[in-house]
Amino acid sequence: MCPFNPFFFALSPSTLQAHERLEETKLEAVRDNNLELVQEILKDITHIAQQDSTAAELARILQEPHFQSLLETHDSVASKSYETPPPSPVLDPMFNNQPVPPDAVRMVGIRKTAGEHLGVTFRVERGELVIARILHGGMIDQQGLLHVGDIIKEVNGQEVGSDPRALQEVLKNASGSVVLKILPSYQEPHPPRQIFVKAHFDYDPVTDNLIPCKEAGLKFVAGDLLQIVNQDDPNWWQACHVEGGSAGLIPSQLLEEKRKAFVKRDLEVTPTSGALCGSLSGKKKKRMMYLTTKNAEFDRHELLIYEEVARMPPFRRKTLVLIGAQGVGRRSIKNKLIMSDQSQYGTTIPYTSRRPKEHEKTGQVYSFVTRNEMERDIKAGRYLEHGEYEGNLYGTKIDSIHEVVESGKMCILDVNPQAVKVLRTAEFVPYVVFIEAPDFETLRAMNKAALESGIATKQLTDADLKRTVDESCRIQRGYGHYFDLCLVNDNMERTFQQLQVALQKLYNESQWVPVSWVY
């Protein structure tokens, strides 16, 4: 019999408690479909929210993009199983510390058809061909047998020399079984980071003389959504289209900045200054817009390359911003949308320094303030935009936008194009729609029909119509990267219906928004 050991019994309760803690049941999520639950709650309280402020506040919180994103992340995590991996087998430390012999070559076999690209590029190091990058989703990446830094010694028993293009041609034309003799690099691959961007320029690798391998390039156009899968190379990123497909090389932000830095943008070479607002000013009108400090300076140095974006679950935007040339019909569309559902849509009441007329009351068509008060607020940055007409100031106050949003409505704004830069933030979360002018002949026919039906009272001259079409083109060139939707207004009723459909999609489909709105 073992002798009595009081020390053992003194430790036993603590030891048992520790064991019980280790054996506790792991925490698990109650459910993994909270987004669906929130949508059901919103449906149930919709009719209550119109009469009860507490229900309205709850509905607003549940629809906030940050709250919806949090639930989406929770559901994503909750739907996965996170088991503790088994411990790795213990290896002999002496074995782990053995250096890799420099002549430890490997033979790698690949089966391919002639003309099929392997998804790999090469560079020359010390007279030898080294794997420079492996394209995400390509054949080599899927097999996992080659790594960046591996030295290619032979292809099918033939030495490869030191010309990367010659090696690419040999591999491209090879068919059947291809055996590579390599000297491994034994570099640890970096875990990929999830980065999504919206491209703001067109790119075709066929016309790019700088790309190391044209066949490995990825073609895209402005507005395409790309997933960046590798940024190891400072000049060439690897990316694929969000819709799917193999990865390819695209110029990095740095490389494209260097190429575009000294190239004048179309907006800068327009013959007249203030061309975007040229048609807004006439002989009787003096209108000056002040939006942000050194706005023109910002325009000159803005390089449109990539914009990092994030995917959000369906949600309603705070503001709807309509952009377009004068005379294209955006104000008519705004009024038509508000009248279609005044409980869902609203707009701001402009401020003015002019004296009210006999029948006018402040807060109806205009909010009347003194010139000194308005100038003071303009100087303090409280106006989104403002201008002067016949000696009186007119403008849109930023607080008036917040008032509409806080009332539970989407605030509809038809503003100067430059104002979009101020609005396109997490503060206003805008859905920006460009109302594009149709061609000259269609625009003239629409004006004639409007005159005959009594909707319009002024017949536009050919010069007016041409000015509208030209201004519309300039706005699209200069600010198209801000637009979420473009609608050609060649038929008012059809354009209105298309806008309604697009707004309804915001409630049903995921949205790609600037990452700055989320983080």
Number of neighbouring beta carbons within 10 Å of residue 310: 18
Q: How confident is the model at residue 32 (pLDDT cuts 50, 70, 90)?
A: confident
Which whole number is the average pLDDT over 437-462? 84
Please give the CATH topology (third level) of the domain spanning 195-262: SH3 type barrels. (2.30.30)
Name, of 7-11, 192-196, 220-224, 287-291, the range with top average pLDDT: 220-224
List, in order, residues 6 or more apart from 309 with CB less than 8 Å away.
196, 197, 198, 225, 512, 513, 514, 515
- Which residue reads 């040999």 in tokens? 170
* Half-sphere exposure in the Cβ direction for 455 (13 Å, CA): 9
57 — phi, psi (to 5°)? -65, -40
- The per-residue DSSP string of 425-461 comes to STTT-EEEEEEE---HHHHHHHHHHHHHHTS---PPP
Query: How far is the C-alpha of 172 from the C-alpha of 513, rounded, in Å?
Result: 39
Higher per-residue confidence, 109 vs 351: 351
For residue 122, how many C-alpha atoms fall within 13 Å in the half-sphere facing its CB?
25
Other residues' Cβ atoms within 10 Å of the Cβ of residue 411? 24
Asked if 496 and 337 count as a contact pair (C-beta separation under 8 A), the reply is: yes
What's at 52, amino acid-wise? D
What's the whole-model pTM score? 0.61
What local confidence, expressed as pLDDT, does residue 183 receive? 86
Give pLDDT tens digits for 397-429. Answer: 999 999 999 999 999 999 999 999 899 999 999
Is residue 382 within 8 A of residue 375, CB to CB? The reply is: no
For residues 63 and 42, is the Cβ–Cβ distance under 8 A? Answer: yes
Q: Round to whole Å and give the CA distance between 495 and 322.
A: 12
Beta bridge partners of 486: 434
Whether 447 has a pLDDT exceeding 80, the answer reads yes
Query: Distance between CA atoms of 276 and 267, rounded to whole angstroms?
Result: 9
Instruction: Give the Cα separation of 156 and 162 in Å (integer).
Output: 16
Euclidean distance between the first and final Cα of the chain, in Å? 67
The dihedral sign for the CA sequence 249, 254, 255, 260? positive
User: Residue 389 corresponds to which tokens in the numbers above?
Assistant: 């007409």
Residues 151 and 136: their CA atoms lie apart, in Å, by: 19
Residue 154 contacts residue 112 (beta carbons within 8 Å): no
**With pLDDT > 70 as the criterion, what percentage of the chain qualifies?**
80
Pairing of strands 430-436, 485-488: parallel
Q: Which of 448, 446, 444, 416 lies closest to 432, judged by CA?
A: 416
Q: For residue 85, how many C-alpha atoms fall within 13 Å in the half-sphere facing its CB? A: 3
Q: Are strands 351-352 and 367-368 parallel, antiparallel or unpaired?
A: parallel
| Strand-strand pairing, 236-241 and 151-155 | unpaired
Q: How far apart are CA 424 and CA 417, in angstroms?
A: 11
CATH code, 348-405: 3.30.63.10
Q: Taking a C-beta distance cutoff of 8 angstroms, is the pair 135, 238 a contact?
A: yes
Beta carbons within 10 angstroms of residue 395's beta carbon:
24
Q: What is the 3-state secondary structure (H, E, C) of 52-93?
A: CHHHHHHHHHHHCHHHHHHHHHHHHHHCCCCCCCCCCCCCCH
**Per-residue confidence (pLDDT) for residue 275, from 0 to 100:** 30
3-class state of residue 512 by DSSP = strand
| CATH architecture classification, 314-344+409-514 | 3-Layer(aba) Sandwich (3.40)
CATH number of the structural domain 106-183: 2.30.42.10
Report the pLDDT averaged over residues 308-327.
93
Helix runs in 224-329, H state only:
253-260, 295-301
pLDDT digits (tens, 9 = 90+) for 154-202: 888 888 888 888 888 888 888 888 888 888 876 655 555 579 999 999 9
pLDDT higher than 80, residue 20 = no
Contact (CB, 8 A) for 333 and 445: no
Instruction: Return the minimum-mean-pLDDT range out of 117-121, 373-377, 483-487.
Output: 117-121
DSSP state of 265: P
What residues contact 297, with CB distance under 8 A and at least 6 apart? none
Structure tokens at 256: 């494209």
- Cβ contacts of 384 within 8 Å, gap of 6 or more: 291, 395, 396, 397, 398, 401, 413, 415, 419, 422, 423
The predicted pLDDT at position 297 comes to 39
